[in-house]
Amino acid sequence: MTMIVDIVISALVLLGAGFVLIGSWGLVRLPSTMERLHGPTKATTLGLGALLLGSVLYFQLRLGTWSAHELLISLFLFITAPISANMIAKVHLHRLHTGALSEPDSIAGPPPRPGDDGDWATFAEPQQDTPAATANT
Amino acid sequence: MIAWALNIASVAVALALLLNGWRLLKGPALGDRIVALDTMVINVIALIVLIGMIGGNDTYFEAALLLAMVGFVSTIAYCKFILRGDIVE
Amino acid sequence: MTALDQLIIAPIVIPTIVAPLALLAMRRRRRVGVALSLAGCVLMLLAALALFGMAQDGTIRAYPLGDWPAPFGIVLVLDRLSAIMLVLAAALALIVMIHALVTSVDRKGWHFHPLFQFQLLGLNGAFLTGDLFNLFVFFEVLLIASYGLMLHGQGGARLKAGVAYVIVNIVGSALFLIALGLLYGLTGTLNMADLARRVATLGAADQGLARVAGLLLLTVFGLKAAVVPLHLWLPRTYAATMPVVAALFAIMTKVGVYAMIRTVPLIFGPGAGAAAWVPAPWLMPAAILTTITGFVGVLAARGMREQAAFALLGSTGTLLLAVACWTEATTAAALYYLVHATLAAAALFLVADVTMRRRGQYGDAIVAGPRFVGQQAVGLLFLATTIAAVGLPPLSGFVAKLFILQSVSTNALSWVLWATVLGTTLIGVVGFARSGSALFWKAKADGDPIACPERSRAELAAPMALVALLAMMTLFGGGATAQAQAAAAQVFAPQHYLNAVLGNAR
Amino acid sequence: MILAALTLLPFAAALLLALCTSASRGTHVLIAAGASAGGLGLLLSAPPGVVAGAPLALHLAWVPALGLDFSLWLDPLGLLFAGLILGIGLLVVIYAQGYLARDEATGRFLSCLTLFQGAMVGIALSNNVLLMLVFWEMTSLSSFLLIGFWRDRADARQGARMALAVTGGGGLALIAGLVLLGQVAGSYELSTILTRGDVVMASPLYPAILILVLLGAFTKSAQFPFHFWLPHAMAAPTPVSAYLHSATMVKAGVFLLARLWPVLAGSELWFYLVASTGLLTMLFGAGVALFRNDLKAILAYSTISQLGLMVMLLGFGTAAAAAAAVFHILNHAAFKAALFMNAGIVDHETGTRDIRRLGGLAALMPLTATLGTLAAAAMAGLPPLGGFISKEMMLEESAHTIFGGQTLLVPVLATLAALLSAAYSLRYAAKLFFGPTRTGDAPKPHDPGAAMIGPSIVLVAVALGLGLLPMTIAGPLVAAATAAVTGEAAPRLELALWHGINPALVMSLVAVLLGAAVVWQYPALAARLANRAAPDAKRMFDVAMGAVITQTRRASLAIHAGSLQRYLFMLFAVAVALGLDGMLTSGGLLTGPRAPLPASPVAIAAWLALIAATVTVVLTHRQRFLALVFISVIGLVMALAFVHLSAPDLALTQIAVEVVTILLLLLALHLLPKTPRQLSSVPRRLRDGALGIAAGIGAGLAAWAIMTREVRDSVSSYHWANSYPGGGGTNVVNVTLVDFRAFDTMGEIIVLGIAGLAIYALLEPAARGAAGRRLRAWRKDMPHSPERHPMMFVMATRLLLPLALLVGLYIFLRGHNQPGGGFVAALVFAIAILLQYLASGFDWTDERRQMGEHPLIAFGVLIAVATGLGSLAFGAPFLTSSFGYFHLPLIGKFELATAMLFDTGVACVVVGAVLMALAQLSHVAQRAARGSDASDGEGL
Amino acid sequence: MISLEFLIASAIGVLTAGGVYLALRGRTFQVVLGLTLLSYAVNLFLFAIGRLVIDRPPLFAKGLTDHADPLPQALVLTAIVITFGMTALVVILSLRSFLESGSDQVDGIADPADEGSAS
Amino acid sequence: MIKWLLPHPALSVMLLAVWLLMANTITVGGLVLGAIFAVILPKFTEPFWPDRPRIRFGRALAGYVVIVLYDILVANFEVARIILFRRNRDLRSRWLIIPIDLTTPEAVTVLAGTISLTPGTVSSDVSADGRYLLVHALDVADAEAEVARIKARYEARLQRVFT
Ligand code: NA
Ligand code: NA
């Protein structure tokens, strides 16, 4: 029984660490900012998720203490990570838009415009009474 | 076995940390550096968890929890600074 | 713990309560805030006098905060030295506060009263504490309050000088922490009495590190005291701030000197082996240079505040000449001179303030301007304060310098010290004679009329009070010198301090 | 009693005069004259035994620690001197009433004059050399004030300063000399010192003492080469010249030499120093006096010469010479005061003191002319005046003085000096009162009123009396005073005009006749000398002083040019140097015996990240934004290190503080230049780099040395053991913060609170003045995205606020037992609120906040201190904590500790201070943004 | 073998060196960065004087004797708080001074060219 | 009364759950304290969250969570494969524009967050009119199919959660 537990825990830990490493590797090897932004997602989701699950099991099954903080860590990361990604993407779009020297194009090229007349919020002030303008009250 | 796994895992995450550092130094885009920093935060959380497991001590998890909660604030602030200059407006 | 013993905490508690109350009150009712602040100063003086009275029996009292025994908790220690410093700070504070109120300086910016009270808290804490880290904390309290006060009223020059003042002191604090860390790492304690005991038992190699710590501490205290070459920050800072604030700051450099007197004979005394009297060889030449730099600065100054700042520098140097001999007699002389020099420097700044207020656009520049209201009276005050500041008879500066001359005469370098003290006195005399005759005698007949509002005679009260205190120090020179001697005797018999703090049963 | 009254009376008068400056002139004169007369009366009422050698004494302890006591005595020398001071003082006061113009500030004038009088009486009566120093320097000060009395005149101010510098400086040397003397003699009591001559003479310090004392005496008595201040002191009103600069103050030096004669005189050194200085001065002064044209300058140089005479006599070291000196003091006081008053009258009546513009005044002002001529005759040493007798005595003593083996040197030079004296005296009288009439500016000058002429009548009468009836008037006093000087029995004096034909008479005759001849041939002589430019001491002094001030000012400005870079360089350099000193003398045993811990790969990786980040921050510091990013990395590694090294509380704090710091720096950077140009040169950077490396090595080695040493039983083992049983918490760090060392924590939150207040005080007025203008003129320096509040971020923060507050509460509550506590909790609260600012903007958030920063800070401090005070009610010291475990049905066991209350105070202050810093700072940026709305979106 | 002590000591050294170098630069912001580095160094130093201990946080448990020294940790906490207050003040002060004079040079030399310079 | 006490019951429930997770143990005391905070904090923070949307608990939400977690798991392996083995020049990195029908910003944010959490796609921006979402995809062969998948799989379900 402990053997199985050990295997499961070890597997989870290694899986998590592996995904963390792969994420960071992606950050290094992917060609431009937008692609690199995909790397860390692995670390936050499966990487840390597996690690934390391994930790919960480890403390519960091997050390006999119930520890639930790992779940909270995941919860907070799930709330915050997309925001970070969103803001970084905006930075990229903005720098691209304003022609900053250090901002090489993504291989996806510049983003197409939404619809016919509007533009993305990074480039145009969000219009009143739309979801995008919600905080401007 | 778990000890082995934990050791290997921490080496892996430490390696990941160095990879982040490389990207951080290299850039070239500001966005790249910010992503690298943001990822570093994630990796440090992972390391804290691993350190806790290696020591059999769950007292460090609050640090990880706090980092998960407030670590992104600096990322956002950096982004907001580039986008708007003024981070509070 | 008797009710009387509880009085030791009063100099801490009073400003800590008054400051936030004044802060709250000032937002709604200014007068209440002012009254609170003034009452705080009065109370503090009363408490300091009571403690001074308590210290007269020669026993050293330890106050264990949180009821944790020394060296495990923090102790406050009341001895003659700390009592003298408390009274000095409280008296100076009250006078400066009155001047600030009379001249409405407190309305020139925000939060004058809370900052003032916190400044006093820092001073009182530094004087009372028996714990080295706690000394650091109170240094920080008094420094950050001083940053606020120094910037009071603002303006470009003051802000620029403030940036330098703040930053250089932040670095000083970092050094303090390193010195502290070294001592804790070596001895495992932070209590000063315990440190004294443990440094004496260190092995030779460890004593070397203790030496490093001692020298770093000297650097920190030297920075606060403005010892050459760590004095560079002082002239501009004190000349740029409001003179009222500078008058209060007259005691700030003395905190550095106090810390040296407190720690060196105790921790780096004869028992410390390789670390014994470690600051001495460095401090003496620095003190000589400080004295010379200060009084030469008096001669070279172009403004009254600058001149006062340099006089303060010179007096600190003179003070340290005596301190750096590290004998009981010289320390006694130093303590008397410390009190005198603080009051005299404060008086110089207040006189500069009064003069500036009356000279309108001429400010404190040492150039002739048209005659101004009360020129005679202010001139007389200037004369009295400068006589005190340079150490001419009949004011206490003379007694103090005589005290120093006599006490250092057994030192191997005595002739250098004498030459320095007397030579710089002459330079000071010439410098003040020049500025005084330009400011109060010479008149620019065809100058533009001075644009300045009606001034009240009450402005003269505070500087006059300071001169009166100096006169008292002269008149009762016998008692005052006896106090200094008794305090120095306590400093140089650290065993009593150790017994009081750590108990006899060690 | 008499002594105390004598000394204090003038001071009382001075004080009274200073207090009633607005009273009438008559009142002023009455007070001053009353004081002098009263003093004289007291002096006369002294018991006759004083002259017989039984001094009156008074001893009051003052500063026993220094040997400085209020110790007075009245011996014959003191009596003579004090009498002189008070007597001439009285006459001068009366004279001054006539002399000073109606609108002069007589109150101030007489106040200073009586102050001076008190100081002089003090010198005369001091039986304590330290007390004498007090009075000595006071004479310099009052002289300064009196010379500068006409403060509008540049020469008065300069003369005053010069006099102060020279005599004050000499006084400082005297301080050294007298303190040394006292230490050698074993007492500062004069009466004791005077009996220790042999001890003093035998001391190796004797030369030093002598030279220092002589410096004091010579400067005061205007001996060559310190004489130059005296002529310029003549810028003072004439009564002052008469009183201070001829009759009394300048004689203080002579008095001092006489006073210390028993301990200092008699050696070769004394003879050569004192006699030759006196001789030289006598000659020099007389020679210069002859060729001056300003009446007061003539008199000033003559005074110098006469003082030289007295000094020379004292230098001879014989009793007879001492007697001659003492008698000449009297004579000189009488005729010189009279002459100054005379010159003052002439000046007053004719409007000029230039002797070339005056002449034949005898016809217009006969009384003045008579008095002037008589006084001049006394100065010339003509019979039957007292001056003749003392000059004869001087010549007599010179005649048998051998100087360096030369028998003729002194007599010849003394005769030459006497010749010159006769010449300038005769010139004064002859040129002024006889010959062709010249009246200066006034058409018809006439004799002045009684107030001005009366005092000179008295003085001339005395001068005459001293010649005609010397033994009656002065004999016993001079004898007794001489005895006091020599410390031996009173000499048998024969003061008389006629001693028969002796060498002195011959010398005297030669001197007077040749002197008359010189006056006869004066125009030719003057013309020949006029072309020779004599070195002007005043100009030299002024040039030297000017150069000194210019140079010191330049140096001082250069050194103290407010440069933070210099301040810091010095500070670091000193720290490194002193640290090096400590290391070098530490015996080189750096590494201790403690076994090091192996570093894990994680640690090495983190270390690499930290080093790389630090180096990058240093290299890219001008790209400020990037530098901040790398600072973040350092903070992250620090947090990791704290976790790795068993410091969870530190890790929590580091993480939270880091966030707030970055926000702060970004807010500031917004308004600052983003990539400023390089300022420092390459050598400068290399220098700074070297210093940095040295400091780094020092800090690293120190850390290494400590970490590799074994722990010596630390006080913290007590904290560990008592944290739970005594402090009620298992988190020892937290218990230390809120209990063992709660006092530190109180100080620490006060630091934060003050920082908040200071920041508010700094930022509140930022919208006004130059800063306000600059803020309004501020233009965006980077292209900006138009979107202010990104939707996803805003939405996330809405959820995060309650969550973060909950986490904060949790961290707060568990802090006593587990990592956490008030500070971290407060930072979490603050970050939660700051997130709202970040996401939704300043105005939106500000109007939704419930509590201002000021009350938070104030109440936080009050809560903390009130918690601490609570224990006082139970007789326990400040900050004594208490805790208890309580049971409630359902909820179970829980702990309440006063430390938690204290921690609440901590949290309040921290939230308040952090919000104050960041919200107020962003508010400034707000105003900037509003000021530059026009340029919004520029660059898009 | 590399020891943890070496890592910490060298980190302190590098942080100090960088901090000193930056503190000696001519503009306030750089100086602030320098102070930040210095304070990291000092905090680490102060922490290190308690000696390095792994996996033994100072949380009291009966019978446990091996633990990290809590006192230096408490000192570092105090130091961090104070440093934060000082940093906040100095940052705002230098900004305020910049706004007042238009120059962010520490030695007060006017540098109008800097005003509004682009990034 | 309930409405006043619990202006946002979902939030209160969440807070209570988080509290219990943090406390690590379930005790009566902890529950009481957690409950108190769960009531106070939403009340206290009410001004900071105007117009809180109503959320429907139950199967819609649970189903959504399960699907997202599953997708995350699968996508992780997918992206890991790309990072490890795909050459950069073969990468079909592109922008997707997703027209959105959700009306509340909360719902749009959850959708965008979901997309970001799923490896391979990052929500990069919203259009100024709030009707489009800009998503960057790491490796997509058919952009339109991917947009349709996201709309069907996530947005449709979210419309049921946010009424
Ligand atoms: Na306690
Ligand atoms: Na994603």
Q: D710: how many CB neighbours lie within 10 A of its CB?
A: 9
Amino acid D714 reads S
Give all domains of chain E, ordered by start, each with its CATH number. 4-106 (1.10.287)
Q: D22: how many CB neighbours lie within 10 A of its CB?
A: 8
C75 and C165 inside one domain: yes
Q: What is the pLDDT of residue D450?
A: 84
Cβ pair C279, C257 in contact under 8 A: no
What is the rounded distance in angstroms from the CA atom of residue C238 to the CA atom of residue D925? 31
Say yes or no to pLDDT of D434 above 60. yes
Q: Which of D147, D346, D139, D353 minimizes the C-alpha distance to D235?
A: D147
Does a structural domain hold residue C504?
Answer: no
pLDDT range class, residue D940, cuts 50, 70, 90: very low
Cβ pair D810, D723 in contact under 8 A: no
Beta-ladder partners of F127: A120
Q: Best of D571, D650, D818, D923 to disrupt the E interface by mutation (most E CBs within 10 Å)?
A: D650
Tally of domains in chain B? 1
- pLDDT cut 90: percent of chain C above it: 82
Max mean pLDDT range (A65-69, C454-458, D90-94): D90-94
Longest dimension (CA), chain D: 131
- pLDDT cut 90: percent of chain D above it: 50
Say yes or no to pLDDT of A1 above 80. no
Does a structural domain hold residue C488?
Answer: no
Q: Say yes or no for a CB contact (<8 Å) between B57 and E54.
A: no
pLDDT range class, residue E116, cuts 50, 70, 90: very low
SS3 per residue for chain E: CCEHHHHHHHHHHHHHHHHHHHHCCCEHHHHHHHHHHHHHHHHHHHHHCCCCCCCCCCECCCCCCCCCCHHHHHHHHHHHHHHHHHHHHHHHHHHHHHHHHCCCECCCCCCHHHCCCCC
Q: Residues D662-684: pLDDT tens digits?
A: 999 999 999 888 888 877 889 99
Residues of D whose CB is below 8 A from F48: 798, 801, 836, 840, 845, 848
Helix axes D76-99, D106-125, angle to 10 degrees: 170
- DSSP codes joined into one string, B10-32: HHHHHHHHHHHHHHHHH--SHHH
Q: What is the pLDDT of residue D764?
A: 87
Q: Which one of the ligands is nearest to D874 CA?
A: 1
Q: What is the pLDDT of residue C506?
A: 44
Residues of D whose CB is below 8 A from C71: 715
Choice between D687 and D414, residue whose per-residue pLDDT is larger: D687
Q: Say yes or no for a CB contact (<8 Å) between C175 and D575.
A: yes
What is the rounded distance in angstroms from the CA atom of residue D149 to the CA atom of residue D154? 11
Query: How distant is the Cα of C47 from the closest Cα of chain E, in angstroms?
Result: 29
Say yes or no to pLDDT of C308 above 90. yes
Tally of domains in chain C? 2
Q: Say yes or no for a CB contact (<8 Å) between E42 and C174.
A: yes
Q: Residues D781-794: pLDDT tens digits?
A: 788 898 889 999 99
For residue D559, CA distances in Å to C229, C292, D324, D562 come to 10, 13, 56, 8
Say yes or no to pLDDT of E79 above 80. yes
Q: What is the pLDDT of residue A134?
A: 62
Interface pTM, i.e. ipTM:
0.95
Query: How distant is the Cα of E53 from the closest Cα of chain B, in angstroms?
Result: 12
| CA-derived radius of gyration, chain D | 42
C232 and C362 inside one domain: no
> Closest to D802 (Cβ–Cβ): which among F29, F45, F123?
F45
Q: What is the pLDDT of residue D939?
A: 30
C267 and C118 inside one domain: yes
Say yes or no to pLDDT of D290 above 70. yes
C340 and C455 inside one domain: yes
Say yes or no to pLDDT of D935 above 60. no
With CA atoms as reference, the chain F residue closest to A124 would be F128
Q: Which one of the ligands is nearest to D741 CA?
A: 1
Of C254, C278, C302, the position where a domain reaches its end is C278
- pLDDT cut 70: percent of chain D above it: 97
User: Helices H, strands E: what count in chain D?
Assistant: 41, 6
Q: Residues C378-400: pLDDT tens digits?
A: 999 999 999 999 999 889 999 99
Q: What is the pLDDT of residue C91?
A: 97
For residue A90, CA distances in Å to A95, A122, D630, D659 come to 8, 6, 21, 21
C338 and C235 inside one domain: no
Counting beta carbons within 10 angstroms of the beta carbon of residue D539, is it exposed (0 to 12), middle (13 to 18) or buried (19 or more)?
Answer: exposed
**Centre of ligand 2 from the C-alpha of residue A73, in Å:** 18
Does a structural domain hold residue B89?
Answer: no
Does a structural domain hold residue B10?
Answer: yes
Range of the domain at C347: 281-475
Choice between D892 and F93, residue whose per-residue pLDDT is larger: F93
pLDDT range class, residue C443, cuts 50, 70, 90: confident
Say yes or no to pLDDT of D532 above 80. no
Q: Residues D59-87: pLDDT tens digits?
A: 999 999 999 999 999 988 999 999 999 99
Q: Residues D436-488: pLDDT tens digits?
A: 888 878 888 888 888 888 899 999 998 888 878 878 877 888 888 898 888 88
Which residue stretches of C359-476 are H helix? 375-390, 396-407, 414-436, 461-475
Query: How distant is the Cα of F77 from the closest Cα of chain D, in angstroms?
Result: 26
Q: D403: how many CB neighbours lie within 10 A of its CB?
A: 18
Tokens linked to D45: 């009422």
**Centre of ligand 2 from the C-alpha of residue B5, in Å:** 27
Give all domains of chain F, ordered by start, each with its CATH number. 2-48 (no CATH), 59-161 (3.30.70)
Q: Which one of the ligands is nearest to D880 CA?
A: 1
Q: What is the pLDDT of residue D534?
A: 64
pLDDT range class, residue D586, cuts 50, 70, 90: low
Helix axes C132-150, C112-128, angle to 10 degrees: 160
Q: What is the pLDDT of residue D397?
A: 84
Q: Which residues contact F85 (CB under 8 A, 6 or more apart)?
A: none
Q: Residues A92-104: pLDDT tens digits?
A: 999 988 887 677 7
Say yes or no to pLDDT of D813 above 60. yes
CA dihedral D326, D332, D334, D339 (to 10 degrees): -170
Does a structural domain hold residue C113?
Answer: yes
3-state SS, residue D5: helix
Q: What is the pLDDT of residue D765?
A: 86
Q: What is the pLDDT of residue C501?
A: 95
Does a structural domain hold residue B62?
Answer: yes
- Distance in angstroms between the alpha carbons of the first and the last residue of chain A: 59
Q: Residues C113-137: pLDDT tens digits?
A: 999 999 999 999 999 999 999 999 9
Q: What is the pLDDT of residue D371?
A: 92
For residue D841, CA distances in Å to B81, B86, C186 come to 13, 10, 51
C187 and C316 inside one domain: no
- pLDDT cut 70: percent of chain E above it: 90
Q: Residues D385-426: pLDDT tens digits?
A: 888 888 888 888 888 888 888 888 888 888 888 888 888 898
Say yes or no to pLDDT of E114 above 50. no
DSSP annotation of D186 reads: T
Q: What is the pLDDT of residue C2?
A: 78
Q: Say yes or no for a CB contact (<8 Å) between A135 and D783.
A: no
Q: Say yes or no for a CB contact (<8 Å) between D790 and A82.
A: no
What is the rounded distance in angstroms from the CA atom of residue D907 to the CA atom of residue D851? 14
3-state SS, residue D318: coil
Say yes or no to pLDDT of D934 above 80. no
pLDDT range class, residue D53, cuts 50, 70, 90: confident
pLDDT range class, residue C359, cuts 50, 70, 90: confident
Of C226, C258, C278, the position where a domain reaches its end is C278
Q: Say yes or no for a CB contact (<8 Å) between C156 and E101.
A: yes
Q: Say yes or no for a CB contact (<8 Å) between E31 and C167.
A: yes
Query: How distant is the Cα of B2 from the closest Cα of chain D, in angstroms?
Result: 17
pLDDT range class, residue D589, cuts 50, 70, 90: low
Cβ pair C422, D176 in contact under 8 A: yes
DSSP annotation of D56 reads: E
Indicate the domain borders of chain A.
2-134
- For C91-95, what is the mean pLDDT? 97
> Closest to E49 (Cβ–Cβ): which among C151, C166, C181?
C181
Q: Which one of the ligands is nearest to D876 CA?
A: 1
Counting beta carbons within 10 angstroms of the beta carbon of residue C217, is it exposed (0 to 12), middle (13 to 18) or buried (19 or more)?
Answer: buried
Q: Which helix (H) or strand (E) holds D554?
A: helix D537-559
> Closest to D794 (Cβ–Cβ): which among A79, A124, A135?
A135
Q: D53-57, D684-688, D910-914: lowest mean pLDDT where?
A: D53-57
Interface of F with D in 43-62 (CB under 8 A): 44-45, 47-49
Query: How distant is the Cα of D706 from the closest Cα of chain F, in angstroms?
Result: 38
Residues of B whose CB is below 8 A from A36: 23, 32, 35
| DSSP β-ladder status, D438-439 and D358-359 | antiparallel
Q: Say yes or no for a CB contact (<8 Å) between B10 and D626.
A: no
Q: Which one of the ligands is nearest to D738 CA?
A: 1
C66 and C186 inside one domain: yes
- DSSP codes joined into one string, C313-341: HHHHHHHHHHHTT--HHHHHHHHHHHHHH
Q: What is the pLDDT of residue F6?
A: 79
Counting beta carbons within 10 angstroms of the beta carbon of residue C316, is it exposed (0 to 12), middle (13 to 18) or buried (19 or more)?
Answer: buried
Task: Kindly state whether D806 is in contact with chain F, defined as any CB-CB distance less than 8 angstroms.
Answer: yes
Q: What is the CA angle D637-D909-D734, rounded to 5?
A: 55
> Closest to D795 (Cβ–Cβ): which among F11, F32, F106?
F106
Which residue stretches of F2-161 are H helix? 2-5, 9-23, 28-44, 59-85, 105-117, 143-150, 156-161
- pLDDT cut 90: percent of chain B above it: 79
Q: Residues D896-926: pLDDT tens digits?
A: 888 889 999 999 999 999 999 998 899 887 7
Q: Which residues contact A137 (CB under 8 A, 6 or more apart)?
A: D844, F50
DSSP annotation of D460 reads: H
What is the rounded distance in angstroms from the CA atom of residue F45 to the CA atom of residue F42? 5
Q: Say yes or no for a CB contact (<8 Å) between A79 and D940.
A: no
Beta-ladder partners of D888: D892
Q: A1-5, C467-471, D70-74, D301-305: lowest mean pLDDT where?
A: A1-5
- pLDDT cut 70: percent of chain C above it: 98
Say yes or no to pLDDT of D936 above 50. no
Residues of D whose CB is below 8 A from A82: 792, 796
Tokens linked to E70: 């809590």
Q: Residues A49-66: pLDDT tens digits?
A: 999 999 999 998 888 888
Say yes or no to pLDDT of A78 above 80. yes
Range of the domain at B36: 2-84
- Mean residue pLDDT across chain D: 88
C268 and C295 inside one domain: no
